[in-house]
Chains A and B, each alone.
Chain A
Amino acid sequence: MSIRTEPMTVNIGPQHPSTHGVFRIRVTFDGEDIVEAEPILGYLHRGTEKLAEERNYVQIVTLTDRLDYTASMTNNQAYCLGVEQLLGVEPPLRAKYLRTMTAELQRIASHLIAVGFFLQELGTFGGTPLMYAFRARERILDMFEMLCGARITLSYMRPGGVFWDPPAEFWSSLDQFLKEFPDDLSEMEDLLLNNEILMVRTRQVSPLSAEEAINNSVSGPVLRASGVKMDLRVLDPYDAYSMVDFDVPIGSVGDNYDRFWVRMQEVRQSLRIVEQCVEQIEPGDYRLDLPRVLRAPAGAESYGKVEAPKGELGFYLFSDGGVSPYRMKIRSPSLINLSVIDRLLVGWKLADMIVSLGSIDLNMGEVDR
């Protein structure tokens, strides 16, 4: 005998420990199955795009930190590339390497958060993988502190280069990190990649086909998990990416496991990039000598874009000749990746919902801006 059920609407968030910030989603259930899901956004909206119209070009760097606060470095990078395009300048070679290196360290830190919380939300092993992930992330944050004095809101990059040359202690900690982290990572991989419990919970759950992913403008690890080899570091190399060698891991079916797996593989590739940068970097200038208050020619426009840990992050800038941009648009990967949220959730069970959310790796600072 089947039990008769009635649809029930439940609000999840904005204050919920597993929604990665102030994310609210209104879900309609039929029994345990999800029949409708609608994200409701704006709880962290600070009007970054409007604020930028009142700040000068250098001041805006600090605003970009607060977008995706788990990956400030790549936010800085995208914005600085946009301003450099606007001004028609190019940073010195050493700055390019420093940017590439720190951006890849940031990618490792961000992916570790994504993977750690994803596993935490599965309820695996009472939080052990999360602690493993945070142990390694902590070391990266310590290195960032040596670089610029901040751990989260870094503002390390500037239009025309980086803020400072790294101090000697940074290089020695980086060497030690590069020696020790691969073993820590292997430990995580041994525990997780072929883990049966994890596979049963995530394989074939919430798959996303390549066509759907492309049609919904999904980018980053979520797109690559669906088997589309799109990575701006390869397609349109910026900074020093054309001088380093790395692979782009892709998944096959785009289920929760693939999204997790792609991130784990990308951490390995990022390590490779950092190692090559350390080998290739040479002494030199770390910043162009630009005026404190920058002015771009009137009518100039640019689109600075990077492959951020969450996907394609772009800054569209339009200048009217003044000291601040006339318009700054942020193409935020987290927001656009949310377009597929109902496809990922509808038809699946309540228990898979939080896991699927974790597999997209949202950051509300970036969604709401």
Chain B
Amino acid sequence: MALTDLHGDIVADKLSGSVPDSVEKSDLRNVWIKSEKLIEVCQFMMSEDDFRMDYLNAVTAVDFIDHFDVIYQLTSTSTQQRVTIRVSLTGRDNLQIDSVTKLWGGANLQEREIWDLMGIKFTGHPNMKRLLLWEGFEGHPLRKDFL
């Protein structure tokens, strides 16, 4: 079975039917969802028969200066479909988003890395410490305003 990328609009359609008010926008590859609905959406993606996204490939974040995007790439090991979920966070200070560690253990170290390098806090994470740099380091190096 070959890997296929699900069309963002199709995923957005299904999501808006089952988790109301969750989708912000969508395009060919990505679905942008509201940050307060993240856990609900992830639970739906995990349990819904059409998706069964049980494998979290990667979590990352991008600094777009006026907002940050947190990107979750999910794969289903049974249907070999892939989908990319994005959450936009506006502002630069005290950024917070729910942790998905309880759903996918694989997010644990990656969320710590994002906090370390991008400065986005994950609430509900069991061990929200810096991963690569030491505690007491000032700033978050991957932000565009760092150096």
Contact = CB atoms under 8 A, between A and B. Distances in A.
A275 to B, nearest CB: 25
B88 interface: no
Interface in B24-79: 54-58, 60, 62-63, 71, 73, 77
A2 interface: no
A368 B58 CA distance: 16
A50 B142 contact: yes
Nearest to A312: B57
A303 B71 CA distance: 12
Contacts of B106: 215-218, 336, 339
A275 B81 CA distance: 32
B105 A216 contact: yes
- Interface residues of A toward B: which range? 20 to 34
B113 to A, nearest CB: 8
Interface in A316-342: 316, 318, 326-327, 329, 331, 335-336, 338-340
Contacts of A303: 73
Contacts of B130: 42
B133 A217 contact: no
Contact of A339 (B63, B80, B108, B132): B108
Contacts of A338: 109
Interface residues of B, number: 31
A3 interface: no
A129 interface: no
A236 B131 contact: no
Contact of B133 (A42, A232, A316): A42
A318 B64 CA distance: 11
B70 to A, nearest CB: 12
Contact of A368 (B55, B57, B110, B132): B132
Given A42-B131, A50-B141, A217-B56, A335 B3 contact: no
Contacts of A212: 105
Nearest to A235: B3
Contacts of A230: 77
B32 to A, nearest CB: 14
A49 B132 contact: no
Contact of A331 (B1, B57, B80, B107): B57
B109 A335 contact: yes
Nearest to B84: A303
A335 B107 CA distance: 11
State the 9 A-B residue pairs at the shortest beta-carbon distance, nearest first: A217-B106, A42-B132, A236-B3, A216-B105, A329-B60, A331-B58, A45-B132, A216-B106, A235-B3
Interface of A: 41-42, 45, 47, 49-50, 212, 214-218, 228, 230, 232, 235-236, 303, 312, 314, 316, 318, 326-327, 329, 331, 335-336, 338-340, 368-369
13 contacts: A45-B132, A49-B142, A215-B104, A215-B105, A216-B106, A217-B57, A217-B104, A217-B107, A235-B1, A327-B62, A329-B58, A329-B62, A331-B58
